[in-house]
Amino acid sequence: MELSEEGKLSTLNYKAKKHRTKLPGLLCIIFLTFAQPDPVTLAISAVFIILGESIMFWAAGYIRKNQELTMTGPYSLSRNPLYDGSFIFGIGFVIASGVIWLTLLFMVFFALIYRSTVRWEENKLQRLFPDQWPEYFSRVP
């Protein structure tokens, strides 16, 4: 799953990255098929879903994609706040489902899709902002 020197992804990782916005639909179908929600899991999940969505909304308000290296707001706390929010949002749906094995499915899905995506994006940012990236990378987790 490593990036080549040119920052390209392997074929499998490229396909996963390319379709990362479509693949959650498949995951959603699986969740809807097997979910066994109850009022307690739905109530708990709402907290995670709202928190995750709030983080994504906050992060989206700061980013100026490919124009500047965003280092303020949520980007001063995490290099990937949009993905952090997406993860928390997804955990909310796992909790809502009330099915433990769906947690493992979500974790595998998220790791496969976003691990290579984050690497690709960080490689791109390093090329776009060579003067700012090293300090930002070393300072922000």
Q: What is the 3-state secondary structure (H, E, C) of the chain?
A: CCCCCCCCCCHHHHHHHHCCCCHHHHHHHHHHHHCCCCHHHHHHHHHHHHHHHHHHHHHHCCCCCCCCCCCCHHHHCCCCHHHHHHHHHHHHHHHHHCCCHHHHHHHHHHHHHHHHHHHHHHHHHHHHCCCCHHHHHHHCC
Write down the pTM of the prediction.
0.82
pLDDT in tens, the chain (141 residues): 344 444 455 666 666 666 667 777 888 899 889 999 999 999 999 999 999 999 999 999 999 888 999 999 999 999 999 999 999 999 999 999 999 999 999 999 898 888 888 888 899 999 999 999 999 999 999
